Amino acid sequence: MKKTVFDRMSDSYDNFHLKDSDISMGKKTITVSPKIKLALGWSVFVLCCVLGYVLLNSPLSSPKELTQEQKEAVLDEDVALDEEHDTIVPYEKNANDDLIAFIESYYEAMKKCDYIALQDMVTDPSEFRSDAELKKKAEYVTDYTNITVYTKVGLDEGSYIAYVVSNMTIVGVNSAPYDIKTLYIVNGARGYLINNGTLSLDTQEYMEKVKGDKDIQKVYKAVEEKNEELKEEDPSLQVFFDIITKRDIEVDAAVDYLPSEDSEE
């Protein structure tokens, strides 16, 4: 009976995998048993899986770059600045180890009221002439944890828009609410710096347009939903959000308006 292609494949498999294989190395012959071949095969398979995982999940050296022409084309996009739209400039999550380290150092300096260190992290050091305002905030916001950085390339060469999500530890609040802060970061001769000065009108428009991108809006909505869940479980957090809602202020600025422990309710 003539063997089919499947029969021949089966015979080849049996001959190779289920029998000893002799490998000639010059005048010597090495016999490889089926067990050794099986172990080697699985080792290669596991190694390929590990390499595949590393390649797919390792952070990139920097957020995906666009040409200057592509960046400037964003300014011509006909999108509403206050509405969600299809993503124009995709974000990357935790894409740059050096940038993440810089941002974590910035938050650490804020927590420690290290205004000297902060002066070296911004384009306008005059914002941090002293630690008075920092200490006032640190009396209430005592820590920033679980920092996650979403980055989009900025309009200027070597710049990034960083959307930083963190949990804040707030005195008098039992839970740790989520906060999202936008930083415009430039990279030059002095390394990374947060541009805390006045941005050009084009840069402001660029930031407003990419903020409406669907991908980053999902992050904003996730932060809002998580805080809503926390408020349902934690009355002290609800009070905190009532304060910042009434005064229409940013989350991390709300500490200026929190009542002290000995104040009357």
What's the chain's length in residues? 265
Q: Which domain holds residue 223?
A: 68-257
Query: Is there a single domain that holds both residue 108 and residue 237?
Result: yes
Query: Is there a single domain that holds both residue 48 and residue 73?
Result: no
Domain count, the chain: 2
What pLDDT score was predicted for residue 230? 94
Residue 49 is given by DSSP the state: H
What pLDDT score was predicted for residue 121? 97
Query: Is there a single domain that holds both residue 94 and residue 157?
Result: yes
If you average pLDDT over every residue of the chain, what do you get? 79
Q: Report the DSSP pairing between strands 28-32 and 21-25.
A: antiparallel
The domain boundary residue, chosen from 57, 86, 101: 57
Any domain includes 264: no
Interatomic CA distance for residues 165 and 179, integer angstroms? 6
What is the tens place of the pLDDT at every residue in 67-126? Answer: 878 888 888 888 887 789 999 999 999 989 999 999 999 999 999 999 999 999 999 999
Helix (H) or strand (E) holding 88: none
Farthest-apart Cα atoms in the chain, separation: 98
Any domain includes 62: no
Mean pLDDT calculated for residue range 135-152:
92
Interatomic CA distance for residues 3 and 116, integer angstroms? 82
What pLDDT score was predicted for residue 59? 35
What is the tens place of the pLDDT at every residue in 3-20? Answer: 554 455 555 545 555 566
Any domain includes 233: yes
Query: Is there a single domain that holds both residue 162 and residue 220?
Result: yes
pTM exceeds 0.75 for this model: no
Least confident of 25-34, 108-117, 163-172: 25-34
Query: Is there a single domain that holds both residue 35 and residue 76?
Result: no
Query: Is there a single domain that holds both residue 105 and residue 229?
Result: yes
Query: Is there a single domain that holds both residue 96 and residue 46?
Result: no
Query: Is there a single domain that holds both residue 146 and residue 205?
Result: yes
Any domain includes 16: yes
Q: Report the DSSP pairing between strands 178-188 and 21-25.
A: unpaired
